[in-house]
Amino acid sequence: MAIRNIREFGDPVLNKVCKEVAEVTPRTRELIQDMLDTMYAAGGVGLAAPQVGILKRIVVIDVTGEDPHILINPRIVETEGTQTGSEGCLSFPGKAGDVTRPNYVKCEAFDADMNKITLEGTELLARAICHECDHLEGHLYTEKVEGEVYDVKSKDEAEDNK
């Protein structure tokens, strides 16, 4: 399919609430495939439709590189525990910050055929579900960062020099 441009911080589309998807059309299927291609090309583990300029409630996630999840109209219905860790975003290239998220998340959504599905995840998958669902509400991870957003390369270099 196609690699789409990822909208970066400052683009107003990233702060807008997305609309529900009523049906999956051929254009929706094309968008989903483009989102997967774009996410993989950028080296990400998740991508939400507003990050490619589309205000629809669609998310793609793949924390292993081999198990993509397509979530249409996702809704987090249960969380448990906490985890704090470094979190980045394809809309903030080269940046990261420490964010506390639930360690377990249960999400209800629809798949690409509009079948109701449930996705449960812990650790990185739980973090990705929360992060991408936040995008659909116009929220960015930087709103939750504890401390400062930092340059990933400088932090990696500092760790290497220890």
- Other C-beta atoms closer than 10 Å to the C-beta of 136 total 24
| Under 8 Å between Cβ of 128 and 74 | no
- In angstroms, the first-to-last Cα distance of the chain is 43
Q: Which of 108, 123, 132, 157 is catalytic?
A: 132
Which pairs count as long-range contacts for 156-161, CB under 8 Å and 24+ apart, including other chains? none
**Whether 132 is catalytic:** yes
| Under 8 Å between Cβ of 61 and 69 | yes
The two structure tokens encoding residue 30: 């094309």
Active site (catalytic) residues: 132
